[in-house]
Amino acid sequence: MLDLIFYLAILVGFIGILVKSAIFTTDNIVKFCKSTGVSEFAAGFIIVAITTSLPEISVAFFATYTDNVEITLGDIFGSNITNIALITPIFFLLSPIKKLEKTKMKGVYLLLISSIIPIFLLIYPGNKIVGVVLLIIFGLFVYLTLKTNPRQINEEAKTEGGHSYQRPFFYFIIGMAIVIISAKIIVDTATIVADSTGIGQSVIGSTIIALGTSLPELTVGIVAVRKKYFDLTLGNIIGSCVTNITLILGIVMVISENDIDFTIISTLIFFAIFTSSVMFMFLRTKKILVWYSIFLLILYNVYLFTINEIPNILKASKII
């Protein structure tokens, strides 16, 4: 009992640290944007998305080198589904902004294009050449994002000196490091608490662990939304999904010794494609409505049921 109280205290404490560090991180990336003229959407798509994807990148390296590629693939596509079907509707509900600017639709189209990529992966085996192509596509997406979201020089920042962006960027890196470390400790502690209370491993895996690598996006995004930096939030969500499918998956294919058979995760790929397509259709209306969030949350629960309960039902029925 004392152990449980101890771990709950750790859990609550690091949730507080996570929130504070997310606020610190968001404030400094916004200062960086104002100092450099980089748009919030571009910063979210490139800088924040890559740093919040560090958990997925680390999982990809370790799992691939230990010949557990299936874990990496599950994490990549599972994180995308979680980002879109769980985290995005939370942002929609919290956001005071209910209309999407037309200029941000170009970023949404990048999400649609990246969601089509897995279809080809089901047809062609994942080898080093395909991995290099994915890395090139990621570079192209970064270039298009910067080109379609031009720099806007901040006059106040210019008068403060040409190096005014260095300090907020340094603080942003420190803040993100604290966010990621806090998220890791929270996931590990929550798993211990769940185990001690008798919660099943399948529930832990599909909720706590699945949320673990998406926790940085969630906390930073919530803070950004509440501070009315919706462009930063949207760029982070879309950028994280694109980074997973192109950069991280490309790295996995390049460093993997063997070709990857993506049919082993065909269910995950289906949900990743479907959720991305649904989000594209919603954002294409340039509106943020409550029923969008409700539909996405229902879709997330259907996803959880499909990957956890249906295999158990089939096994019980001796179908598989």
Angle (nearest 5°) at CA 247 between 286 and 112? 25
Whether residue 211 has pLDDT greater than 60:
yes
Least confident among 11-15, 33-37, 67-71, 282-286: 67-71
Q: Distance between CA 292 and CA 315 in Å, rounded? A: 34
Rounded Cα distance between 53 and 239, Å, is 9
- Of residues 156 and 246, more confidently modeled: 246
The model's confidence at residue 298, banded by pLDDT at 50, 70 and 90, is: very high
pLDDT at 133 over 80: yes
Query: Average model confidence (pLDDT) for the chain?
Result: 76
Q: pLDDT at residue 290 above 70?
A: yes
pLDDT band with cut points at 50, 70 and 90 for residue 28: confident
Q: What is the pLDDT of residue 293?
A: 92
**Higher-scoring residue by pLDDT: 159, 22:** 22
Instruction: Give percent of the chain with pLDDT exceeding 90.
Output: 5
Domain housing 129: 2-316
Is residue 244 pLDDT above 80, yes or no? yes
**CA–CA separation, 145 and 154 (whole Å):** 20
Higher pLDDT, 84 or 14: 84
Predicted structure pTM score: 0.75
Say whether pLDDT at 304 is over 50. Answer: yes
pLDDT the model gives residue 159: 44
How many structural domains compose the chain? 1
**Per-position b or e across 101-112, b if 16+ CB within 10 A of its CB:** eeebeebbebbb
Look at residue 75 in the predicted model and tell me its pLDDT. Answer: 73
| Rounded Cα–Cα distance for residues 263 and 270 (Å) | 10
Rounded to whole angstroms, the Cα distance separating 182 from 187 reads 9
CATH number at residue 283: 1.20.1420.30
Query: For residue 206, what pLDDT is reported?
Result: 45
pLDDT bin (cut points 50, 70, 90) of residue 157 is: very low
Query: Which of the two residues, 45 and 104, has the higher pLDDT score?
Result: 45
Q: How far apart are CA 146 and CA 142, in angstroms?
A: 6
- For the record, the structure tokens of 70 come out as 């299936």
Separation between Cα atoms, residue 159 and residue 291, nearest integer Å: 46
Mean local confidence (pLDDT), 169-174 = 85
Query: What CA–CA distance (Å, rounded) separates 246 from 116?
Result: 11
Pick 258 or 274 by higher pLDDT. Answer: 274
